Amino acid sequence: LEQILVDMDPEPVKANARGYVTQRQEGLKRGQKIEDVALGDMCIMIAPTLRPVQPSFDEEPVNVFAKGRELVEWKLEVGDEVETGDTIVTLKTPDGAIVEVTAPRDGVITAVLAGVKPGNNIEKLCSTVATNCTLAVVGRKLPPLLLREEGTNINAPRNVQFVEWKVRSGEPVK
């Protein structure tokens, strides 16, 4: 992985994962540092898929009650085949009970909520004011067209200055 994503001076930012550019730190002008326009040093995000975790017409969401729940473990990932009732993820309730979240139908996991790791509070990561959260989507059994690697944030090295973007949002990273 040597693809240059952002030309920075004196050192470019290179890809550390394959996938798609899902976000860039917009608003940078030539000569600025990331910290001039953002809190922290994250400058670009790469994810295994461009898909949001929203089901299409032939898919079903895997919804959970999010309030106060913590992710314990992903049991399956994007591209895995499932049968109705297979455990996709386990959560812990505020009182410590373990809850298995299961597939609502036979199919293939076509999307999962990116960036959710063991120990994360689901309610805080779900970006919703409602109490339900879509953690995954199950679609028909077809060969998946999604990459299987996890998404990643790429930080700019400290004290480098922005020169120009080498990729656009939505572009593949190889």
- Reported as a single tens digit per residue, the pLDDT across 109-162 is 877 877 778 998 887 777 555 567 888 888 876 433 333 345 666 777 766 777
Query: What is residue 140's predicted lDDT score, i.e. its pLDDT?
Result: 75
> Is the preceding omega at residue 10 within 30 degrees of 0, hence cis?
yes
Q: How confident is the model at residue 100 (pLDDT cuts 50, 70, 90)?
A: very high
